[in-house]
Amino acid sequence: MAADVVAFLDALAIDRATLIGHSYGSFVARHVAHSRPARITRLILIGTGFSASNPVTRDLQASLRTLPDPVPLEFARDFQASTAYRPLPTEFFERLVAESMKLPARLWPVMIDRLIEYEDAGQLRHISAPTLLLWGSQDALFSRTDQDRFVAAVPHARLKVYEETGHCPNWERPEHVAADVEAFMRS
């Protein structure tokens, strides 16, 4: 996926860009940042972890081994609901569920397997772009310790914590995230 990001930048003749990645996408964005540092001006990671492998993601991995096909609606609802701490607007939440249903059951375990297998902690020190981590204090996937370890590993990283917010500050507090992204881009 990181190669696709670089190919996309190439196709649009964009030499350098700010990347923003949320959850799974944060691991893709940070791979681009440490493998192609000259291409990244700033990096914003929302709901990332120091490592993708932890007890929560491994439990999810195990539960996906028996995911029926087609993906049950209740699974998609429960999965999306588990990532947010604050209530989401109904129409927006239903769109998230509908999008989740588009991923075939056979790809759910593959997606999580690849995420958990991915380990870049030793490469984080090579991220040279100014980096902003946006994290919710009630994130059920990645801990505050993960955030602190990440900030300690990345030379120009800082953390913004959203209180009473889950894994998805961009969904749960979009106006605050937009303002923080804008301020970071202007700094």
Q: Judge if 80 and 166 occupy the same domain.
A: no
Q: Tokens 């490469």 sit at which residue? A: 123
Q: Judge if 45 and 130 occupy the same domain.
A: yes
Structural domains counted in the chain? 2
**β-sheet bridge partners, residue 158:** 132
In a domain? residue 93? yes
Q: Judge if 76 and 90 occupy the same domain.
A: yes
Task: Please state whether beta strands 157-162 and 17-22 pair in parallel, antiparallel, or not at all (unpaired).
Answer: unpaired
Q: Tokens 């700094």 sit at which residue? A: 187
Q: Show the domain range for 106.
A: 55-110
Distance CA 8, CA 11 (A): 5
Question: In angstroms, how far is the first alpha carbon of the chain from the final one?
Answer: 29
Distance CA 131, CA 18 (A): 10
pLDDT in tens, the chain (187 residues): 999 999 999 999 999 999 999 999 999 999 999 999 999 999 999 999 999 999 999 999 999 999 999 999 999 999 999 999 999 999 999 999 999 999 999 999 999 999 999 999 999 999 999 999 999 999 999 999 999 999 999 999 999 999 999 999 999 999 999 999 999 999 9
Q: Judge if 98 and 62 occupy the same domain.
A: yes
